[in-house]
Structure 1
Amino acid sequence: MSNIYGELIYVDRGLYRHFGVGVGEDHVIHFNGGDKSTGRIILSSCKEFSGGKTINLSIGTTDITKSEIVARAYSQLGGDFEGYDLINNNCEHFARWCVFGKKSSSQVIFKNDEQDVVEKVIDLFFDSTYNLIGKPIDDFIDGIQKKLFR
């Protein structure tokens, strides 16, 4: 899969989404789960990560550059990211930390963390809306800027 470098990506696995960070050359760094003692941050091919399912982009705005996002992901490679926990520290927490600098999970909507349920629902709405409307507009503007400032 191309154009995933520094992107927050996920695969829909039915009951949940599995998240990771695209690091180039068709590879993804992600939290493989398991339990607190066995979960590790690993590097996988896109094929291994996806398990044959479609890889999706989860778009949002961040001040962190793509190269910084990838460096953050690589900095945790092989580690346990403070131990896997389905509710408090899962694959989405890891991937969002890489991209946004903050651990969070939209899938764990009722967890009592820094965001309340209303904030999480608003975030989910705007993430989805941005994917449909904002991302194509941003890509268009980026294209024009690249042509103007070659």
Structure 2
Amino acid sequence: MLLALLIAGKLLMGNGGDRPNREEKICGKQHFWRDKKEEMGYRLQYNLLDGHARILDKNNIRKATGTMSAMEEKFERLVSGNFLKPGDVIGVSRSFYDHYGIYIGDGKVIHYADKTKDFGRNVSIYETDLKDFTQGSKDYFVLHFPKTGGPPRKLRSSTNFNVNPREHMGIFDFLFKAKYKLFSPEETIERAKSRLGESAYNFTRNNCEHFALWCKTGISFSRQVDMVLSI
């Protein structure tokens, strides 16, 4: 029975990072949960059965759940009070796609887009305000790069969301299984700035996701294109 629970738990968690979460109060005895870290009213816990983690606030409200690697990073961001960090690969989910950029600090983002929208006749790499980048959306994400390697996963700024983070497993994941270079925040920002003014946008070969991942890892690739081409 215990083995079955372990297997079921691992299948449920998969290889994702920040899992969909509905904020709810955790009540009753939690026999299989243990605290790993506590700070600023937040508690990072892990499950004895499958090893996945969750974050609770001072009122015992579950704020996030997912892999330990992802929850450790989300915990630190929640505790700091600043979810975004300079050098982050930032993204926002539109109706049918994700738009990516590089957060450079002070509420500024460098991204590949038209001046008034993501797509248009004059797409280039330029600097804009976070508010313009998100287009008013309160929920955005940053890419989490696991310490053990492997493909990056999304960390949502929201602690209450239903977006399914399961991504298509294709060439993207294969590329990131190999060890790759992760540039420092300073290097990532410099790489983004080095391409300001570029206007060679191409949906399949040089889009906003290609640009953002190249700035952070040196790998120019797009999971979204991978998903479309594999259909």
After TM superposition, the score normalised by the length of structure 2 is: 0.44
Q: Which residue of structure 1 aligns with residue 162 of structure 2?
A: none
Whole-Å Cα distance in 2 between the matches of residues 105 and 60 of structure 1?
A: 15
Identify which of 42, 51, 60 aligns with 2:135. Answer: 51
1:21 maps onto 2:105 in alignment: no
Q: Which residue of structure 2 aligns with residue 74 of structure 1?
A: 193
Q: Which residue of structure 1 aligns with residue 123 of structure 2?
A: 39
Q: Could you tell me which amino acid in structure 2 is paired with residue 41 of structure 1? A: I
Question: Residues 72-91 of structure 1: CA distance to partner in whole angstroms, max 9, x if unpaired?
Answer: 001111122xx111111110
Q: Could you tell me which amino acid in structure 2 is paired with residue 59 of structure 1? A: H
Question: Residues 64-107 of structure 1: CA distance to partner in whole angstroms, max 9, x if unpaired?
Answer: 11000000001111122xx1111111100000000111110011
How far 1:111 sits from its partner (Å)? 6.8
Kept in 2, the 8 Å contact 1:2–1:26? The answer is no
Q: Which of the pair is proportionally richer in strand? A: 2
1:105 maps onto 2:222 in alignment: yes
Q: Which residue of structure 2 aligns with residue 124 of structure 1?
A: none
Q: Could you tell me which amino acid in structure 2 is paired with residue 39 of structure 1? A: V
Kept in 2, the 8 Å contact 1:32–1:39? The answer is yes
Whole-Å Cα distance in 1 between the matches of residues 101 and 92 of structure 2?
A: 9
Q: Secondary structure at the match of 1:58?
A: strand
How far 1:55 sits from its partner (Å)? 2.0
Q: Secondary structure at the match of 2:197?
A: coil
Unpaired segments of 5 or more residues in structure 1? 118-150
Identify which of 83, 106, 111 aligns with 1:30. Answer: 111
1:85 maps onto 2:202 in alignment: yes
Q: Which residue of structure 1 aligns with residue 92 of structure 2?
A: 11
Q: Which has the higher contact order (CA 8 A, sep 6+)?
A: 1
Whole-Å Cα distance in 1 between the matches of residues 228 and 96 of structure 2?
A: 17
Percent identical among aligned pairs is 32
Unpaired segments of 5 or more residues in structure 2? 1-81, 147-180
Q: Could you tell me which amino acid in structure 2 is paired with residue 68 of structure 1? A: E
How many correspondences in the alignment?
A: 110
Question: What is the aligned-residue RMSD (CA, Å)?
Answer: 2.0
How far 1:2 sits from its partner (Å)? 5.2
Bigger-Rg structure (1/2)? 2
How far 1:3 sits from its partner (Å)? 2.7
Whole-Å Cα distance in 1 between the matches of residues 228 and 140 of structure 2?
A: 26
Kept in 2, the 8 Å contact 1:87–1:111? The answer is no
Q: Could you tell me which amino acid in structure 2 is paired with residue 77 of structure 1? A: L
